[in-house]
Structure 1
Amino acid sequence: MPCPLLRILILASLLAGAAACSSSDPAPGLPATREDNLALGNPSGAVTDAAQYNNYLLVKPQYTLSYHRDRGTPNWVSWHLSSAWLGAAARQDDFRADNTLPAGWYQVQANSYSGSGFDRGHNCPSADRTASVADNSATFLMSNMIPQAPRHNQQTWASLENYCRTLVGQGNELYIIMGQYGKGGTGSAGYYTTLNNGHVTVPKRIWKVIVVLPNGPNDVARVTSSTRIIAVDAPNNNSVSPNWSTYRTSVDAIEQATGYDLLSAVSGPAQSTIEAKVDNGPVQ
C-alpha cells in the first residue's frame, strides 16, 4: 500500500486532471466532428417557402444555402469544414440540375454555362467534401454553382480553398460562408451580365467569410473577440490577382454591400469586434 503522503499526492493529481478535462476550453488533440453547416446564423433569414423565390432555403447534409430563382444561383452557401469531412473519395464531376427546387422553377443545367467563358464555380468546394462519394457528388449540383471567371476560380479561389484545408490539417475546424452580389463579370470570352438566355446572372463580386476555431465542442460559444476571421471580397473578372490576400476586407464591409447579417448567432460583443477586423494573419 502507498504511504499516506503518496496517496494524497496521487489523489491530488487525479483531481487536477479531472478539473482540466472539465474546462470549457478545447483540449489539444480533440477529434474533429461534423457540425451544423448553419451554426453561426442564417445571413438573409432564408426560409423554405416557394413564395420567397429570391431567398429560398435549401438544407443539404453537406451544406446549406439561400437560392435565388431569378438569378439561377445561390445568394450564399454556408458549410462546416473539419477533417471529419475529408477522406479519399474521388472528384465526381457529375454536374447536374438540382431537382429539389420547387416545382415549376427553372433548373439550371450542367451545360448552362457552355461557351460563356465562365467556369461552373463551386461555392462549397468539391475538395471540402471527400469523406464519401455521396458527399462529393452533392457539391456538383448546379444550385451550388455561380458563373466564375476562370482565373478567379482556378487561381485566386483555389489558393484560398487550399489554405482553408491547410488550417484544418493544423487541428482547426472552420465555418465558411461564400456568396456573391452585383451583376456583370468578365470571363475568358468577355463581359456578360447573364447566361443561358437570361436564366443565370453573372455576379460582379464574390466574397467569402471564414471563421477559424481549434477543434472542440460548443463552437458558437467558443467564438470570441480574438477568434480569427478571414473575409475576402474580389471582383469576378479574369484579371483578378491570384493572391487572395490582396482582397481581404472586414465582415462589416461585406454586410454593407449585401445587406446580410453574418455571424448572427455569435454573442453581440464578440460579433461586433470580429466583424470590424481585417485579417492580417498568415496566408499559406
Structure 2
Amino acid sequence: MHGLTNQRLAFFLGGSLFGALITIGLTRPKANAPVVVPTPTSPPPPPPSPPKDRLPPKPPVPTTKPTLPIGNAELLKSLQMLGFPGPVADTRNHSAYVSNWNRQLRNPNWVFEHLTRDNIRRPAKDGKDDPDRTHSNFREDKNIPPTFRSLLKDYFKSGYDRGHLVPAADAKRSQEAMDETFLLSNISPQVGQGFNRDYWAYFETFTRRLTKHFSDVYVFTGPLYLPKPIPGSPGRFKLEFEVIGSPPNVAVPTHFYKVIAVKDAQGVYALEGFVLPNAVIPDKAPLTSFVTPVDAIEKAAGLTFFDNMPQLRDPRLTVSLCSTTQCSLTESQLYIDAIKKKKALNPPQA
C-alpha cells in the first residue's frame, strides 16, 4: 500500500472530491417571500371593558365545520385496511449506539454514538467485566425480520471485510456493549487491506481521540451509494454497486460518511462532514481531502442530521471542526501501527 504512485493517490483523492462536488446545486434554496404589512391610518379604538360582575360574551359558534383537504378518503381507508407496505426502518437502541437499518440494501442507514472521555474507557478491573473483543463474535441481528436481514454466509468468501460502523473500541464500557457492535446490523462490506484495516481504522481512532479535547463528541456514520461519470458521456452519471451473497443480498457501498459534532467545555459546538471511498486509501492521504459539506451528505443519504440543534443547522453559527483541531491521522497511524507490530510479535495462542 505504501508503494502506491502519486497518480493513484490523485485518483482516490479525486474520488473523494467527487463526493464534495455533489454539493453543486444541492444547497437548500431559501427564497424569502415579501411580506406586506398594511399601515393603518389610525389606531383602532380599545374594546370596551366588560362589567366587573360578569364575563365577556363568548364568540358565536360557527354553523359549519371547516373542510380539510384530505385527498381520497376511500383510497386511504383501503390502504389502512390492506396494510402499509413501507419502507420501514428498523431502529435499535444498544448500550453504546443507536442503529437504523435499511431493509432493501441490508446495510445501516446510519449509526449514532455519543462519545465522552468516560464512556470510552474500560471499567475498573474488578474481575466482573473486562471487555475483550476476542470474546465477541459476529452474529445476525434476530430483531430484524429474516427476509430483510444480512446473513453471515453473505460475507463468506465475498472478498470484503465485515466492517464495523461503530468500532468495538468505542464500546469498552462492558462486554455486552462490545458484543453488540458485532451484530451484522452494525456491519457493512468494506475493502479490507488499505481501508477497513488501515485508513478507516485510523479515522475511527482519530474520532475517538477527539474526547481528549472536547467534552462531548456526537457521531453519525453510514454508507453512501454515489454515482460516477459515464466515460465518454460528459454530464452523464450512473449508479452501480456490487451486491454480495448467494442469492445476492447485501449491497456494497461505494463510500462511507461520518458527520461529527463536538462541544467544548464552554458549550461551543463545531461540525464537520467526511466522505471516504470504499477503496484502498494511501496512508499519506490527508484527512482534510475528504471533508464534505454536511448538506451534501444529507442530500446523498436522504437524511437530516442534528435537526433539533439550530446552532448546528445554521452555517453562520457553526464552526468547522478542522478549524478548531488538527484533522490529521498521523498520531492515530502511529498508535495503530504499534498495536499491529505488537500483535505480530505476540500472535494469539491457538
Letter in 2 for 1:179: G
With over 3 angstroms needed to count, the CA separation of the structure-2 counterparts of 1:173 and 1:276, relative to structure 1, is: closer
| Partner residue, 1:120 | 162
Task: Give the corresponding residue for 1:194.
Answer: 243
Deviation, 1:204, is 1.1
Match of 2:199 among 141, 147, 156: 156
Is the alpha carbon distance of 1:140 and 1:243 closer, same or farther for their aligned partners in structure 2, counting shifts above 3 Å? farther
Tell whether the 8 Å contact from 2:95 to 2:176 is kept in structure 1 after alignment.
no
SS at match of 1:130: coil
Q: 2:139 aligns with which of 86, 96, 106?
A: 96
Check the 8 A contact 1:252/1:275 in 2, yes or no.
no
1:53-104 deviations in whole A, cap 9, x for unaligned?
45332222321122111211111111111133223321144100001113x4
Note the aligned Cα RMSD (angstroms).
2.9
SS of 1:116's partner is coil
d(CA) in 2 for partners of 1:194, 1:259: 21
Structure number with larger C-alpha Rg: 2
Contact 2:214 2:262 in 1 (8 A): no
Matching residue of 2:126: none
Note if 1:78 corresponds to 2:112: yes
Go from structure 1 to structure 2 and tell me whether the alpha carbon gap of 1:237 and 1:270 turns closer, same or farther (over 3 Å shift): closer
Aligned residues of 1:252 and 1:276 also touching (Cα < 8 A) = no
Q: For residue 167 of structure 1, what is the amino acid of its counterpart? A: L
Give the equivalent residue in structure 1 for 2:24: none
How many angstroms apart in 2 are the aligned matches of 1:215 and 1:132? 27
2:296 maps to which residue? 253
Alpha-carbon distance between aligned partners in 1 of 2:281 and 2:312, rounded to the nearest angstrom? 36
1-side partners of 2:147 and 2:120: how far apart?
33
Of all paired residues, the percent bearing the same amino acid is 25
Misfit runs of 4+, over 6 Å? none
Q: Which has the larger strand fraction?
A: 1
- 146-155 or 238-247, which deviates more: 238-247
* Number of residues of Structure 1 aligned to a counterpart in Structure 2: 221
Partner of 2:326: 282
1:130-141 maps to which residues of 2 (within 5 A)? 130-141=172-183
> Which TM-score applies when normalising by structure 2?
0.57
Alignment of 1:165 onto 2:208: yes
Q: For structure 1, which runs of at least 5 residues remain unmatched after alignment?
A: 1-48, 186-190, 217-221
The secondary structure found in structure 1 opposite 2:309 is: coil
Partner secondary structure for residue 96 of structure 2:
coil
Note closer, same or farther for the CA distance 1:119–1:193 as it changes in structure 2 (3 Å cut).
Answer: same
Alpha-carbon distance, 1:156 to partner: 2.0
Which amino acid letter does the alignment assign opposite residue 78 of structure 1? F
Q: Provide the C-alpha distance between the structure 1 equivalents of 2:140 and 2:309, rounded to a whole number of angstroms.
A: 34
Specify the alignment match of 2:313 in structure 1: 271
What is the identity, as a one-letter code, of the residue corresponding to 1:203? P
Q: Are the aligned partners of 1:121 and 1:146 in contact in 2 as well (CA < 8 Å)?
A: yes
Paired with 2:136 and 2:326, the residues of 1 have a C-alpha distance of 32
Give the drift of 1:175.
0.5
Query: Quick check: 2:107–2:223 contact (8 Å CA) kept in 1?
Result: no
- For the residue of structure 2 that corresponds to 1:85, the secondary structure is coil
TM-score w.r.t. the length of structure 1 is 0.69
